[in-house]
Homo-oligomer: A and B are copies of this chain.
Amino acid sequence: MTRPRVGAGTRRAADAGEFELIGELAALFAQPADGLGIGDDAATWTTPAGLVSVGTTDMLVEGIHFRLDWASPEDVGWKALAVNLSDLAAMGARPGRALLSIGVSPERREQAIGIARGIQAIATRTGTSVVGGDTVRSPGPLVVNVALVGVAEPDHLLRRDAARPGDLLAVTGRLGGAAAGLAALIDGRARDDVDLQPLLDALHRPTPRLAAGQALAAADVRCAIDISDGLASEAAHIAKASGMSVEVDLAAAPLFETAVRTFGRDRALQLAATGGEDYELLYAVDPARLDALTEALADHGGLTVVGRVLDGGRPGEVTFLDGSGPVVLDAKGYVAF
């Protein structure tokens, strides 16, 4: 239920429209009583064995979410499954069975096969089985849809609505790399430019934080979200869902050195805040448990504190510290840069 966007470096009205539409559609569907419906990173439902099934789906449309002059078919396949795996990671869940649909014109079958190879590459690495699929003719843009079902422990589910006052907000990995890679491609840099490799890898081959999500869940962390739309937007999602006011210190965001070197620190920070497609985790932790969690996440992207949940304040409000003073975001996460 998250998706990358070509040209996602800036937030536009059309993007907001997509968010509104999914909310409007969600309201049409009667939601089951035994799980989370539309609104978190993934849907959940209980199974007869007392486990929780976790399901998510993402559609990628050529020209909107990927371009085959910027990414190989294998990259597109990798990412199509990776963004779904990231949703599972954000719930603390394990993969999983995947169902793949590809809409493609018959003369582009080699590209479809490349996409399937990219999916299988990350499926093998993550213990995901692609068990079913549908290939159909699509005369227009190539369309890839992945639906993924995983499993989680009912008492160890990460949710976006579980932040509590006093929690610290922390992230795995580094932010803004994918957006910087995209910005470089938009600027005309080559897709095989070795100087940009860390950024292009972040853009095309994101590593979903499955082990981190499971470690957080096992350590009784309750609140997490994956960073698909930029740190600012995801912090706003947690604030809104949890009914809390949160503060994010932009200067603390861990950046890619390559992004700082290529675009300068200010733009690298901006891309980390609003660029999106990082597929790292943003989570809320009890400060008393910081050392233990730092240890638990040492091999899984680590822990960098980037903010905190305030005691009081307006529910859903995000205050963004950027060194030159606080900037208040609206509930949708728009930053007035």
Q: Are A133 and B1 in contact (CB under 8 A)?
A: yes
Give residues in A with beta carbon < 8 Å to B: 1, 3, 14, 17-18, 21-22, 24-26, 28-32, 35, 37-38, 42-45, 47-49, 51, 53, 55-61, 63-65, 97, 99-104, 106, 109, 112-113, 116-117, 119-120, 123-124, 129-141, 143, 145, 147, 149
Would B131 and A43 count as touching, CB distance under 8 A?
Answer: yes
Copy tally for this chain in the complex stands at 2
Contact of A139 among B37, B64, B132 (CB under 8 A): B64
Task: Tell me whether A132 and B43 are in contact in the complex, defined as CB-CB below 8 angstroms, given that A29-B123, A112-B25 are known contacts.
Answer: yes
Contact A48 B45 (CB under 8 A): no
Which label, helix, strand, loop or mixed, suits the secondary structure of the A interface? Answer: mixed
Contact across chains for A138 and B49 when beta carbons are under 8 A apart: no
Min CB gap A152→B, angstroms: 12
Q: Is B29 in contact with A130, judged by CB distance below 8 angstroms?
A: yes
Q: In the complex, A38→B99 CA distance in Å?
A: 10
Q: 3 tightest A-B contacts by CB?
A: A147-B147, A140-B140, A43-B131
Q: A29-B123, A47-B49, A143-B61 are in contact. Are A22 and B135 (CB under 8 A)?
A: yes
With A18-B135, A99-B43 known as contacts, the answer to whether A59 contacts B143 (CB < 8 A) is: yes
Extra inter-chain contacts (19) besides given A25-B100, A32-B129, A38-B131, CB under 8 Å = A1-B134, A18-B106, A22-B135, A25-B102, A26-B133, A28-B117, A37-B132, A43-B97, A48-B51, A49-B49, A55-B132, A59-B136, A59-B145, A61-B143, A64-B138, A65-B136, A101-B147, A140-B141, A149-B149
